[in-house]
Structure 1
Amino acid sequence: MTVTEEPKPRRLTPKGRATRDRIVEAATELIARNGVAGTGIEDVRAAAGVSGSQLYHYFDSKQALIRAVITRQADSVLQPGEPRVTALDSFEALRAWADAAIERQVETGCRGDCNLGSLAGELSVRDEESRSDIANGFLRWKDLVLDGLRAMRDRGELRADADLEELALSLLSALQGGVLLSQTMLQVRPLEASMNAALAYIHSFAVDAVG
């Protein structure tokens, strides 16, 4: 079987980059409201204010556009929390990120968003390319958390025997599971409970924690 190399992305002018970004932004907003299945190429074209030829210049299919949305959301770094966090390397930073994620659900009325979790729910079972892209996005998020936890351990704030990989996965699982349940029940309490439990678990490995 011949392995086909991924095509190299074309170099864009500043104007071209702005147009492409506008298309991806429009697609992201529409998917947040209508889901992937309920968002058509023509909907995106109209929302972005571009012609059909412009849209297909940057994305030759809906699949290519969806993959760009996945990349955008993975790059947004641990959404749905705001403000975006660059270093989750203290108990205070972890708490602030959790609170921001909770506040995001309050702001949207737990009505959903276009994030890796929602995209995974729609795409990962039937679309192997999308599943792989989403999985890679989650791995990048996990590594960001892992880097922060490693810094905490190196400073002597977490015990040397803490399984940092498990702690990072527990925190991301709490986020994704809590968001899903909150959006299903239309109340923020499930996300609050899951994040509080995950942070308490991490804190149990603090060097000054009572055993």
Structure 2
Amino acid sequence: MTADTPTKRLTARGAKTRERIVDAAADLMYVRGIGATTLDDVLAASGASKSQLYRHFANKDEVVRAVIVRMGEHVIQREQNALGRVSTMAGLRRWRDALVQNNALRHGAYGCALGSFASEVADHDDIARATLQALFSEWNTLLTAALKRLQENGALPQDAPVDELATGLLGALQGGYLLAQTAHDVTPMATSIDMALAHIQGLSAR
């Protein structure tokens, strides 16, 4: 069972109420942060009553866990769509451009949802941390698969450490999100990813 899985079967009406609560909480927590979002805020934004909220969630931690799963689904689906057919350096750069341009629309504000949530919950909620770890692992696997396709096409040497390169690229992306969020400027994010991609391309040149 994931953190977003109800413990009992819901009616259609109950499922819609739960979904409305999670969606409202996700929007608030992404923009304000988890710590600055109260359950009263979630109730006001979702239009749910306290009895409805507590029918689905015992406490705020359970709401947060459901939000992480929901946001994780969105992020991983986006990355599957973006990385699923990448097999060239040009494809990786298009992936980079889409992420940077999307973040530029917010002037770098809010950062990556998964990275922001990890910074708030990883040290005090092992269930949420494990969910985030699994999501980052899945993201890393998508990057590794893309780099392996570059190998198959001859764009990377066969001895290139694709697992480590994927981890480094994901780290550059997450660090770039944080720097952009702090500066409210997407330039540090673009620079971070570009440095990682330059390293990857440099392996091919050698």
TM class by shorter chain equals 0.7 to 0.9
Structure 1 equivalent of residue 141 of structure 2? 143
The structure showing larger relative contact order (alpha-carbon pairs under 8 Å, at least 6 residues apart) is 2
Deviations along 1:68-97, one digit per CA (max 9) or x if unpaired, are: 111122222359x78952515222332122
- Classify 1:183/1:52 alpha carbon distance in 2 versus 1 (closer, same or farther; 3 Å): same
Q: Give the 5 Å matches for 1:98-117.
A: 98-113=96-111, 115-117=113-115
Specify which of 168, 171, 186 is matched with residue 166 of structure 2: 168
Given the alignment of the two structures, is residue 20 of structure 1 paired with residue 35 of structure 2, yes or no?
no
Contact 2:43 2:50 in 1 (8 A): yes
Does structure 2 retain, via aligned residues, the 8 Å contact 1:82–1:104?
A: no
Residue matched to 1:204? 202
Structure 1 runs of 4+ with >6 Å offset: none
Q: Which residue of 1 aligns with 2:65?
A: 67
| Secondary structure in 2 matching 1:110 | coil
Q: Tell me the residue number matched to 2:156.
A: 158
Q: 1:10 to 1:128 in 2, by over 3 A?
A: same
Greater share of helix? 2
Q: Which amino acid in the other structure matches residue 166 of structure 1?
A: E
When normalised by structure 1's length, the TM-score is 0.84
Alignment partners' CA distance in 1, 2:67 and 2:155: 37
Instruction: Give 1:77's aligned amino acid.
Output: V
The count of corresponding residues between Structure 1 and Structure 2 is: 202
Structure 1 CA distance, aligned partners of 2:111 and 2:15?
24
Structure 2's unaligned 5+ residue stretches are none
1:178 corresponds in structure 2 to 176
Contact 1:70 1:116 (C-alpha < 8 Å) held by counterparts: yes
Which residue of structure 1 aligns with residue 192 of structure 2? Answer: 194
What SS does structure 2 have at the residue aligned with 1:21? helix
Instruction: Return 15-24 or 95-104, whichever deviates more.
Output: 15-24
Deviations 1:95-138 (A, max 9, x none): 12211221122111222156111111111123322222211111
Which residue in 2 is equivalent to 1:85?
82
* In the alignment, structure 1 residue 30 sits paired with structure 2 residue 23: no
Is the 2:79–2:142 contact (alpha carbons within 8 Å) kept by the matching residues of 1? no
Structure 1: runs of 5 or more not aligned? 1-5
Distance 1:121 1:193, change over 3 A: same
Q: 1:41-72 CA deviation, whole Å, 9 max, x = no partner?
A: 11111111112222222222111111111112
Other structure's SS at 2:75 match: coil
Counterpart position of 1:3: none
Residue of structure 1 aligned with 2:49, choices 38, 48, 51: 51
**Percent of residue pairs identical:** 39
Moved more, 95-104 or 139-148: 95-104
- Partner Cα separation in structure 1 for residue 190 and residue 162 of structure 2: 22
For residues 166 and 55 of structure 1, what CA distance do their matches in structure 2 show? 43
